[in-house]
Structure 1
Amino acid sequence: MSTDVAISEANTDAQRAEVQELFSRTFRGIAPNAIPAVKDDHLYAPLVLHYHDIETGQLAGAALTCRSQVAVGMTMMRRPEYAPVMDRHSELDLMAVAPAFRGRGVGSALVSAMEDRLRERGVRIWFGNATRDLETARLREFYTRHGFTVLPDSQPLPDLLGRSWVLPTAEQPAFHFYKQITKG
């Protein structure tokens, strides 16, 4: 890991706008509101980390993990199915490292810092997926190296915490991954 990277939470709309800009440059077609506004934190319980190079102040990388769309939707519809596990899961939604900082351990530092913070929040299951337009072979290796169970291509995510976390209308990703976070 590079020692020249400062990791912190993006807790203001201005900080999140900077993260959104990195994601917009990195991912084609990303929604302009992919990062939740601070006023919506009560719904999404987001953890947005941003990494700045200490020497240049440049944004080196960022990540977003939050409640799944399924859980948020059920909450908004006042359906209680997900209430018992609402704060015991988190979905790794987006992660990016700026091209100039790739290969320096920023992604690994990001995963480690997020897992520590999720553990502190009491999260027990962390999951996500890789879409087909990404470098899936490299990502499969990355998530496996970081202790995630990486499912075979197109295999559905199993029920976790006794619940399904995938929207029935969601586009099928290249693969899903998940990890149980143990109490520290």
Structure 2
Amino acid sequence: MRITWAETDAERGDVQELFSHVFTGIEDNAVPLVAYDYMYAPLIAQIRDDGDRLVAAAMTCRTQVAAGSVLASRQGLPDRLGVLPLIDKHSELDLLAVDDSHRGLGYGSALLDHLESALAARGVRAWFGNVTVNLDAVSLRMFYRRHGFTVLPDFEPLPPLLGRKWHGPNLAAPQFWFYKRPGAGPRVPVDAA
């Protein structure tokens, strides 16, 4: 299995298509175009089969709150949420999908490991995500725990990480949140600053 980065709009279109196939109700622009990398700083890992068909992908990036702060700062507006000093110290595991025909082969684990290594090398100190109520929460809870994430109880809010809240109050409550410090090993708390 070879993991590469989705660095072109065409590759990201394939990733968007996979995510749309696996998840119901996903936004048409869930995967940012290259032109918006300055806002989201995405890492999009992909695995293709021998015929170059995308079979698995994962994306981690800045949160909407952080992307909004970046955009506001480019327009000369103040950082009201105070996230810009920590903009590159956090990342949200936004989406991870494996095509049905390739599940159970370790692709999801390989993508997580690949992303974690890249995030640790970048100096990211808080990596987090959530599982929504329409997904298989039981197996996903075990999956993220197995990868060293602290997994919160159902419907418990994400605590401040790095001393900041990374989601606005309008976010619908997910089934559960998970978080970790990349490269720090299993269940190491994310520091306050």
The aligned residue for residue 39 of structure 1 is: 35
The aligned residue for residue 170 of structure 1 is: 171
SS at structure 2 position matched to 1:65: strand
Q: Among 32, 57, 72, which residue is 2:52 paired with?
A: 57
The aligned residue for residue 69 of structure 1 is: 64
**Is the Cα–Cα contact under 8 Å of residues 52 and 59 in structure 1 kept in the other structure?**
yes
**Is the Cα–Cα contact under 8 Å of residues 64 and 94 in structure 1 kept in the other structure?**
yes
Structure 1 stretch displaced more, 75-84 or 142-151: 75-84
**Is the Cα–Cα contact under 8 Å of residues 18 and 99 in structure 2 kept in the other structure?**
yes
The alpha carbon displacement at 1:183 in A equals 6.8
- Distance, in Å, in 2 between the alignment partners of 1:111 and 1:76 is 28
The alpha carbon displacement at 1:56 in A equals 3.2
The aligned residue for residue 10 of structure 2 is: 14
**Is the Cα–Cα contact under 8 Å of residues 62 and 90 in structure 2 kept in the other structure?**
yes
Q: What aligned pairs does 1:89-168 form with structure 2 within 5 A after superposition?
A: 89-168=90-169
Match for 2:33: what amino acid?
A: A
The alpha carbon displacement at 1:15 in A equals 0.4
The alpha carbon displacement at 1:121 in A equals 1.4
The alpha carbon displacement at 1:42 in A equals 0.5
Quick one: percent identity of the two aligned structures? 51
Q: Deviations over 1:97-122 (max 9, x none)?
A: 00000000000000000001111211
Normalising by structure 1, we get a TM-score of 0.93
Match for 1:82: what amino acid?
A: V
The aligned residue for residue 84 of structure 1 is: 85
Runs of 4+ that moved beyond 6 A: none
The runs of 5 or more residues in structure 2 that have no matched partner are 186-193
Q: Deviations over 1:65-121 (max 9, x none)?
A: 000111112232333311110000000001100000000000000000000111121
- Distance, in Å, in 2 between the alignment partners of 1:58 and 1:71 is 33
Normalising by structure 2, we get a TM-score of 0.89
What is the RMSD of the two structures over their aligned residues, measured on CA atoms?
1.3
SS at structure 2 position matched to 1:20: helix
Count of residues in Structure 1 that have an aligned counterpart in Structure 2: 179
- Distance, in Å, in 1 between the alignment partners of 2:166 and 2:83 is 10
Structure 1 stretch displaced more, 76-85 or 15-24: 76-85
The alpha carbon displacement at 1:47 in A equals 0.4
The runs of 5 or more residues in structure 1 that have no matched partner are none
